Structure formats: structure tokens, C-alpha cells
Amino acid sequence: MIKRNAPIPTISDQVMADTSIARSDMTGETTTLALGSKLETFGDLVGKTTIRRALNIQTWNTAEGAKVLFAEARELPMLDIFLTVAAGSSQDDWTPGIARLTSYMLGNGIDGKDASVIAQDFEALGARLGIEPYDDRATFWLRSLSAAQQREPAVKLFSEVVGKPTFPSDAVTRLKNLMITSIENEKREPRRIAWDELYKKLYGDHPYAYRTNGNEKGINAITLARLKAFHAKGYAAGNAVIAIIGDLSREDAQVIAAQVSASLPKGPKLAKVGDPAEPTAGAMHIHSPSSQTQILLGQPGITRNDPDYVALMASNSILGGSGFGSRLVMEVREKRGLTYDITSRLITSSATGTFTIELQTRAEMSENTLELVQEIVRDFFANGPTQKELDDIKRQMTGSFPLEVASNSAIGSRLADIGFYDLPISHFDDYMTAIRELTIEQVKTAIYRHLSAEKMIIVTVGPTVPQKELPATAE
């Protein structure tokens, strides 16, 4: 699981669980290149004893080195394939935006077919193709009917799209212009300004400091040769995870995985980015004419593989990640009416992610509202949740999780996460067990180990105006 264009950040890449967000491009959107029949979810998984037993997750490697995860699901005549490559914007090197542009170019041309023909062919097969670019990875998703007469040509076309793109020059120019226009349009948005500044302070010269859509200089520097070189390196089979779920046998899945893998360039797995340096805490205000002030607080978090993942996810939900009922919402919105929305987020990645708090409030109340938020955070970090708060969130998390993995696409996405983050195939069961067994002491220890009110970096964007006292609380 959230990589950074509005809405910021996305929840489209939630990694395995409901309230933790993986850093992503923060677009919150999936690019759908072709629309066919709408293939709905299957609900029979809900209520089964364990998700793992129902799914029987199987894994192997292709001859070219791609990791494969497969789960048979016969409830509906459909197939979902997720191809994930470790070729997100953290691999941009000195050409910001090249990872995103490469991902968007796939589907714009293969040998003998342009974008419109590709889209028509997918639609004629009742298939859908989706693209999600993030900072650590890019994911390509195919949904098709599972009958051989639809499945086989859909998989063939998918394999060519991801593995044999032609990068037509007109599409390169068009998409580069769109990316630059998007960047220009966002330059004066207070929320965008705040998030960009926060990530600069948090990550310095680390690749996570930069947006996945790059910058104007980097995009203008992208050439056809650079696109082809990035695809050859980042989309190599050894750098790929293929997750398959649907109405087909292991033998069918092996054929599909082999076909997709063989279409990709040959090459090894890329090294993941290292952890960033520890940032310096502090606060800064950026003047922007408005009646509202955007407030962001952030500090380093954890990686997706950290043993304290579940404990911190639960603590984040209690503090501000679960909406109504969370401490921040109750104190800042419900009791005082200082904001429409306040949210905390645990954003995890291959390297160290972030813990953030975001809100918008009236400019004349901004300083005292910030002090109130800091006071709530200090108390929570020092004392942890109450037993009732922990019991309530554990009940919510264990109750909602089966519903969140009740569709083929949701399970396929999580299988891709298991493969990408090298999680055990028992992760679904392990996750539920970890929630049920979570204790107050585990949560307090995790908070103490990773989070500190003194480490916060604070960014505010809004007008510089005289401040007013906060209103009395509404009990």
C-alpha cells in the first residue's frame, strides 16, 4: 500500500491492510486503457475459516527469474494478472519523471498496433488493462474472462504491451507535454506546496524526496533512447513479480506466467534504494494568500517489512487514521470544529517511509490549532492508547479485512505486495493473528521505538495573519 499528485497521498496502494498506506505517486488513480465487461467480485471468501486455506497460494520462479504467486479461485469465470516491476520513480536516477513516463507509454504502441487498436482489441475481448506507477514500483493489471478463447489472446496482447513497446514518438511528445502541464498547474496549490516541502525536509537528496511525475527539466531531458534503456533495465524479468488469481489451474497459470515473463527484457533484479538520512526536526511557514492554512506534520516511519508494522498500523488508526472515533478527529473536529478533516497516515515503502498528520484550518486559528494537535500527539506517544481504544480498533481491523479481500482484484493486488515485499505466503493468516494478539505493551513499545513528538517536521502554507484563541470545546 499511497505513491505525489492530488489527492495526496493515495490509498490505492494500501499494502496488505486497511489503514497503512504505501508511498506512491499519490495520484489515487489507475489508468485504464481499455474497458470491457464489468467483472464483479466474489463474496464467498468472507466468513471462511482462514484466507490462506481458501486461497492455497502457490509460488515459483519462471525460467527468466520472475517471481510468481498464484491462487486458484473458481467462483467466477475471470482472471486477474498483476505484473509488478521494481521500476518506480526511486529508480529515476538523474532523469526525474522517466519511470512514470515509461509506465504510461506501455499501451501506446506495439508492433503493428497503435494505442487505439490496442484499446479496441482489449475491449473486444472483454478485458481491461490498468497501470499504477509508484515510487518503488510500477504495476500493470489485466482482467480477462478465463475461458481460453478470451484468455489466450488477452494474455498475448498484455505480454506484448508490457514487454515489447515501440514507444511511438507522437505519444512520447504528447505524454511529456501532459506531465509538464500537470506540474505547472499544481505549482500554486497550497496542499501541493506543503507536501512537496515536507518531503524535501524528510528525505533531502534521497529519491523519495521527489514526485513520481518528475519535474520540467527532467521530463524535457527524456529521449527515446533513455525510455528504451529504462524499460530494458526496469522491466527485466528478474525485476518482476507476477501475481495471478482466477478460474484456472496451476498448469494454466504456469503457461501464463511463462508467456508474460518471456516477453520481458532479460535482466536481474535491481537493487532497492537505501534508507534516507535522519532528517532535522523543525518548522517552516510558507506564505500563500488564502482564508485557510494547510498544516502538515511528518517524521520518518518504518519499512513495510518492519516487525512493528501491525502495532504501528493500529496506533495510527487510533490516533487519526480511522476517521470518526480517532483521537485527532474527536478533539480537533468534533469538540472544537477547527477543521473538516484531520488524518494521520503511516506510509510504508521498501525503504523507510513516513508518519504524517494533515489538516486544513482557518488561518486565524492555525497556530493554536497546531499547538493542540502537537499536545494530542505528545500525550498519545507518551502514554499510548487505552485498552478500550485498542480493543475497538482490533475489532474493526479483523472485521473489515475479510471484506477487503473479497474480490479477485483485491487479492491479486495483495499477492503482488507479498511478492514485491518478500512477505511470507502465510501473510494473510499471520496478519489476522498479529492483530488478535496485539497488546497495549506492544503498541507502546512500537511507538517508543519509532516515533517521537520531538522529531516532527512541520510545514504550514497559508496567509500570515493575527491569531485568535480557540473556541471552547463542545462536550
- Taking the whole predicted model, whether its pTM rises above 0.95 is answered as no
> How many Cα atoms occupy the beta-carbon half-sphere of 70 within 13 Å?
23
Would you kindly state where each structural domain of the chain is located, as residue ranges? 25-263, 282-462
Q: Which amino acid appears at position 247 of this protein?
A: D
| Amino acid 217: pLDDT | 95
- Please list the residues that pair with 356 across neighbouring strands: 298, 345
pLDDT in tens, 445-475: 999 999 999 999 999 999 999 999 998 887 6
Q: What fold characterizes domain 282-462? A: Cytochrome Bc1 Complex; Chain A, domain 1 (3.30.830)
- Answer whether 25-263 and 282-462 agree in fold: yes
| Amino acid 405: pLDDT | 80
Residues (pLDDT < 50) of the chain are 1-53
| Amino acid 188: pLDDT | 86
Q: Where are the alpha helices (DSSP H) in 148-211?
A: 148-163, 169-186, 190-203
| Amino acid 23: pLDDT | 40
| Amino acid 473: pLDDT | 82
**Given the DSSP bridges, would you call strands 67-72 and 240-246 parallel, antiparallel or unpaired?**
parallel
Find out whether 344 and 356 touch, Cβ atoms under 8 Å: yes
| Amino acid 7: pLDDT | 39
Long-range contacts at 217-223 (CB < 8 A, ≥ 24 apart):
217/96, 218/92, 218/94, 218/95, 218/96, 218/97, 218/98, 219/96, 219/97, 219/101, 219/176, 219/179, 219/180, 219/183, 220/176, 220/180, 221/95, 222/95, 222/97, 222/98, 222/101, 222/172, 222/176
> Is 3.30.830.10 the CATH number for 25-263?
yes
